[in-house]
Structure 1
């Protein structure tokens, strides 16, 4: 085993992790913030429900399209360049969004935010795959999503409180500046892998043989990832569960509570805040539990069953503000949090050198789901409103959107039954 300074290694590893996780918290904030500023955006730009859905989903459109390129970038140039470039672009986009005086300019800003942050998550997960042991990957993935969700939590209730004192434009400009600061920190402190910082690989530290490096052009590697049938169920799983969760909680939950139950923004934001906190906890618990029992498939199937049941409850039960609604939103977040295990599953059914592409492939499903869910939900509402000949959204319109939520959940449940069990070990590596 190669000698190394263990204390120095820990210091470098966690410094890298902290910088990348701060960038990832901004990813989540930008993802969820439209729900809290939906009223401000409607007032500023005079948008319909469908147009608001499209503006919010602009983030998801480019984020979805960029997942595979982000995986290629992480596997070729490394996490450092992926996160650095992404943070710079996202910072510029956030500033532009905050300064926008037209709907078109706001859309461009939102597009740039989505383009920038699209590289951060895959870069972070790729970094985790080389800086942490394989047997810790489910747990570190859960911790990553838990901390990342602090950004999502900040974009719900806390953001609503901040907006009582500061203009929404000021918030997004400030976040853009912070993103650029993180880009500088990434340049100065982040290394792609332990070897770049003078350490042996994590596997060598454990007395094992280092994983083989990529040995062919990335296009051939990418074709191999697309041809890997064991990856597809995970992508569909994330499309159905997390795509609909982000789409609903990140945009439509607050308007639903406002329009149907006459809650103001602060009161309505409590429920998506609860869902987001529960989601963060669910990610940590699911990742740790999966590592502990040495299984991936039962955790993912169990999460899909509960998520589908909760979605049915939101659609069919006569719930209103209070304990039942809180319980439903908490259960929605906890069950959706099981999705984090799909990333560990993706890494384990993909050759180690292609971990970035494998994770990006599954992540594409998630954001394609959110990109479609948000505008389709708004389109259904507008269609039902037009058919009813009314001017205000009511129960029938939101019920139509909740049917869409149930359909996405059902698709994820079906996909979960097709997942391959890895027993928390990479199936492409010979194990002792």
Structure 2
């Protein structure tokens, strides 16, 4: 990439700022159901299983779109897919906010998942094209930190906004913002630095795409990273995405605001951890020991949550902050998968590693809801179901087993010493 003009430098930062805000919204939409789970249950008079399906629709479509999005980013270009994604996600959020029934709410969440599923990959494409290769990892880390503000907003701030304006008003407002961002992406984002000619886009041969995909899938070194991602991020998305706030309120008797603060600490710890753990791994020149250590700390904290033991509030806050830091360990799985596959297939290898957690959440959110419904004794408070301690332990156990899967798979990670070792395969 040649040197950019001052105007091009200004444009790339402006474009990245717009895309970063869209990325914040995608994180917010991912975790928002947890902050308003009680409100949704009361509004739609729904069971835990149905609530799980409502939250999981985002993850179903997000999982399906992982690999197609990588191809779309290279063929249509990030500008087009970001604008289209913002439009679809905005319409979905508006539909969700206005939905009079659970069915329409499900349709809205599906459109939200479809719309925001393109943001992360398109952002990576923009960084790769507009920024120097030596700055790629740093820029991705910064963007992930910024994006995670959306998950923090889905904790205590969302709970406060929902109580002030109603949960519907929040999602109607977010839908409107998504539409504005879609327009800004179209007006500001460009697929490549201007050269007086339109940037050429690769044209994909279906056979080449499929053969590359099969090569990554057949590589046995790909799978440990994918399984660590599946277990660690699957447990995170499943519980933090829906069940954490009701768990803290019903098991530990916390006020809604205090429970939401715990959720924000989890998300905030995750945001910081994404930068810290990746940097630690790079400085040590090792992937596997860091992955093993972090994943086992993660399991230990899940065992504490499973025990439902009471603890002083400061200790509880500290535990959730540490939970956030250890959750960020799964961000290493993208590097672990990329570094054992051909560099030209880095997009596919990271997409495959990334799919596991979303697929796990898509399956496990309704499963946890089904487990909760099996143990429900019929108690209702404010139109929402209340579950006893044993039932909550059964639900948390399902997520804990996912975390155990991730820790077990970490022992099979292939050490790359932070460089691509595919030629050594």
TM-score normalised per structure 1: 0.88
1:218-272: CA deviations, max 9, x gaps? 2333333333333222221111111111211221111011112332321211111
**One of 382, 387, 392 as aligned partner of 1:393:** 387
Equivalent-residue separation in structure 1 for 2:210 and 2:12 (angstroms): 30
Following superposition, the deviation at residue 193 of structure 1 comes to 4.2
Kindly indicate whether the alpha-carbon contact (under 8 Å) linking 1:142 and 1:340 is maintained by their aligned counterparts in 2: no
Determine the C-alpha separation between the residues in 1 that align with 2:401 and 2:195.
46
Aligned to 1:343: 334
- More divergent stretch after superposition (29-38 vs 338-347): 338-347
Give the alignment of 1:6-405 within 5 angstroms. 7-133=6-132, 135-194=134-193, 217-316=208-307, 318-320=309-311, 322-385=313-376, 392-405=386-399
Deviation sequence 1:60-89 (CA, Å, 0-9, x none): 111112212222222433333332222111
Q: Kindly indicate whether the alpha-carbon contact (under 8 Å) linking 1:138 and 1:290 is maintained by their aligned counterparts in 2.
A: no
Alpha-carbon separation, structure 2, partners of 1:330 and 1:258: 18
Aligned partner (choices 391, 396, 408) of residue 402 of structure 2? 408
Alpha-carbon distance, 1:6 to partner:
6.0
Does the CA-based 8 Å contact 2:238-2:399 persist in structure 1?
Answer: no
**Structure 2 residue 415 is the aligned partner of structure 1 residue 421:** yes
Cα distance in 2 for partners of 1:422, 1:181 equals: 43
Change (3 A) 1:23 1:347: farther
Alignment root-mean-square deviation, CA = 2.8
The alignment of Structure 1 onto Structure 2 pairs a total of residues equal to: 416
Could you tell me whether the CA contact under 8 Å between 2:377 and 2:387 is conserved in 1?
no
> 1:82–1:229: structure 2 CA closer, same or farther, 3 Å change rule?
farther
Contact between 2:96 and 2:109, CA under 8 Å: does it hold in 1? yes
